[in-house]
């Protein structure tokens, strides 16, 4: 059987971690609709849910936090980050430092929840350390009295963040923690299926998420909104962009054929945290973009996706634009590690076939008799 391009519609695994119900516009984590968790459960609670299959009791959450506190510290002092200097792509810095830390630890053998916790604990510390180092500042140690989201913002700025910023970032982390069999999750599961270690699987997932078709879209949404400038300029700007076959960033999704439920939650967060002028710009762009795209491409059912309002929320908490993908990774690592743990239960090597479309009849010729190949 020949699979469709991009494995469109092909089921590659059974999972009870999460699922995207694209037609209904619904996302479920371990049986919980995302609307039941966002703004109510902390990221730590959701990570526990993804790893263990149930929400934690208070003693279980306390034990999780007690374990993760020391895990957040950089055991090598950020050696790889310092070697990279300030010009590296933040996703490259994250990938390199996690790889080094995993080699020094080392993280090896059959994947465990403790290893998943360690990797999840380290991501924000690595990102924050890189940001400070490239700005000529020393990395900050995480604080034991701050939670996951608050520590991330503290380690970036050196100041205890305001509660509304913590709430916004924590909700964002919950919303992005897992999302079915996306490209980076599939990458992690493929690597895990070879019985490689969990750190290798996560480093591979970071590489997949780095691609602009996967993790880089929120920054491109901000670029687009800045170019538009004002709500009044939305129509002429988008009309011109579409006339020139430019892509509107933050619209459309591979699976959702209606509004992305995460976008709806983030929209309300953006309304509360952004300036009125910026929210008016974003909301006008969303409404006009949806109307115009569906007028021009009625068969594609295009709506805003999570990246559209992720940009507004991450901007409102003060994150630099090129840290949006690494912040995405700092959320998704909980899902990646949960999928690695699941893959190893009854594991079978993921080894698909390909359809060969090349020739089969070529004959070897000595080098003196060879002619240059035709270039089309």
Catalytic residue numbers? 253, 307
Give the integer Cα–Cα distance in Å for 312 and 266: 8
What is the dihedral sign for C-alpha 234, 236, 239, 245? negative
Are 194 and 283 in contact, with CB atoms under 8 Å apart?
A: no
Give the integer Cα–Cα distance in Å for 229 and 307: 19
H helices of the chain, where?
A: 34-37, 43-52, 58-71, 79-84, 90-104, 113-134, 148-157, 163-175, 183-193, 198-209, 217-228, 234-243, 261-273, 276-296, 306-316, 324-343
**First-to-final CA distance of the chain:** 30
**33 three-state secondary structure:** strand
Largest separation between any pair of C-alpha atoms in the chain: 77
Are 51 and 334 in contact, with CB atoms under 8 Å apart?
A: yes
Q: How many residues does the chain have?
A: 376
Inter-CA distances, 87 with 126, 212, 220, Å: 16, 19, 20
Give the strands of the sheet with 18-21, arranged side by side.
Answer: 18-21, 26-29, 32-33
- In terms of C-beta density within 10 A (0-12 exposed, 13-18 middle, 19 or more buried), how is residue 145 classed? exposed
| CA nearest to 339, candidates 191, 153, 225, 215 | 191
Name the residue with tokens 């670029």. 223
Beta bridge partner(s), residue 21: 26
């Amino acid at each position: 059987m020949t699979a469709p391009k991009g494995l469109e519609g092909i089921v590659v695994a059974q999972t009870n971690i999460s699922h995207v119900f694209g037609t209904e516009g619904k996302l479920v984590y371990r049986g919980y609709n995302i609307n039941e968790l966002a703004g109510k459960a902390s990221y730590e609670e959701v990570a526990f849910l993804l790893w263990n299959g149930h929400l934690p009791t208070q003693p279980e959450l306390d034990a999780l936090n007690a374990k993760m506190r020391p895990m957040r510290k950089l055991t090598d002092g950020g050696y790889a980050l310092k070697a990279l200097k300030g010009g590296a792509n933040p996703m490259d810095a994250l990938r390199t430092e996690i790889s080094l830390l995993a080699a020094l630890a080392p993280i090896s053998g059959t994947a465990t929840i403790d290893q998943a916790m360690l990797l999840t604990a380290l991501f924000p510390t690595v990102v924050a350390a890189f940001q400070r180092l490239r700005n000529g500042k020393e990395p900050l140690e995480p604080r034991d009295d701050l939670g996951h989201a608050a520590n991330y913002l503290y380690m970036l700025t050196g100041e205890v963040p305001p509660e509304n910023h913590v709430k916004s970032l924590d909700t964002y982390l919950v919303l992005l923690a897992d999302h079915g069999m996306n490209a980076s999750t599939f990458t992690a599961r493929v690597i895990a299926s070879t019985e490689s270690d969990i750190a290798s699987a996560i480093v591979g997932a970071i590489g997949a998420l780095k691609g602009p078709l996967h993790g880089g879209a929120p920054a491109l949404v901000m670029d687009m909104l800045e170019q538009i400038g004002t709500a009044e300029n939305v129509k002429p700007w988008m009309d011109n962009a579409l006339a020139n076959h430019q892509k509107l960033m933050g619209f459309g999704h591979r699976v959702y054929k209606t509004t992305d439920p995460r976008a709806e939650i983030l929209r309300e967060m953006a309304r509360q945290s952004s300036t009125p002028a910026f929210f008016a710009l974003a909301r006008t762009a969303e409404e006009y973009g949806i109307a115009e795209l569906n007028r021009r491409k009625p068969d594609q059912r295009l709506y805003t996706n999570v990246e559209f309002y992720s940009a507004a929320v991450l901007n409102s908490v003060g994150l630099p634009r090129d840290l949006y993908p690494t912040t995405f990774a700092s959320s998704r690592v909980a899902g990646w590690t949960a999928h690695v743990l699941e893959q190893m239960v009854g594991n079978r090597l993921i080894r698909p076939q390909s359809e060969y479309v090349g020739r089969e009849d070529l004959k070897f010729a000595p080098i003196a008799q060879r002619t240059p190949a035709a270039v089309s």
